[in-house]
Copies of this chain bind each other. A is one copy, B any other.
Amino acid sequence: MLNFTYYAPTQIVFGKGTEKQTGQLVKAQNCKKVLVHFGGKSAKESGLLDSVYDSLKENGIDFVSLGGVKPNPVLSLVEKGIELCKAEKVDFILAVGGGSVIDSAKAIGYGMTNDFPVWDIYSRKNAPKACLPIGAVLTIAAAGSEMSDSSVITNDKTLEKRGFSSNYCRLKFAIMNPELTFSLGQWQTQSGATDIIMHTLERWFTAKGQESSEMVDYIAAGLVKTVMHNAPVLLGNPRDYNARAEIMWASSLSHNGLTGPFGNGDWAVHQIEHELGGMFDVTHGAGLAAVWATWARYVYKENVERFVKMGTDIFDMKKPSKGDEEKTALEAIAKMEAFFKSVNMPISIKELGLDLSDAQCEQLAVNCTWQGTRTVGAVKKLGKAELTEIYKKAR
Contacts and interface: CB of A to CB of B under 8 A. Distances in A.
Contacts of A246: 1, 213-215
Contacts of A250: 215
Nearest to A2: B15
Contacts of A16: 3
A13 to B, nearest CB: 5
Contact of A1 (B211, B218, B245, B253): B245
Interface in A49-65: none
A215 B9 contact: no
Which interface class (under 10, 10 to 19, 20 to 34, 35 or more) fits A? 35 or more
A299 interface: no
Contacts of A4: 12, 14-15
Nearest to A241: B1
A11 interface: yes
Given A7-B12, A15-B2, A222-B219, A229 B242 contact: no
A373 interface: no
Give the 3 A-B CB pairs with smallest separation, nearest first: A218-B222, A3-B15, A9-B9
26 contacts: A1-B178, A1-B241, A1-B242, A1-B245, A1-B246, A1-B249, A2-B15, A3-B16, A4-B12, A4-B14, A5-B12, A5-B13, A6-B11, A6-B12, A6-B14, A9-B9, A9-B11, A14-B261, A214-B229, A214-B246, A215-B223, A215-B250, A218-B218, A218-B219, A218-B223, A218-B226
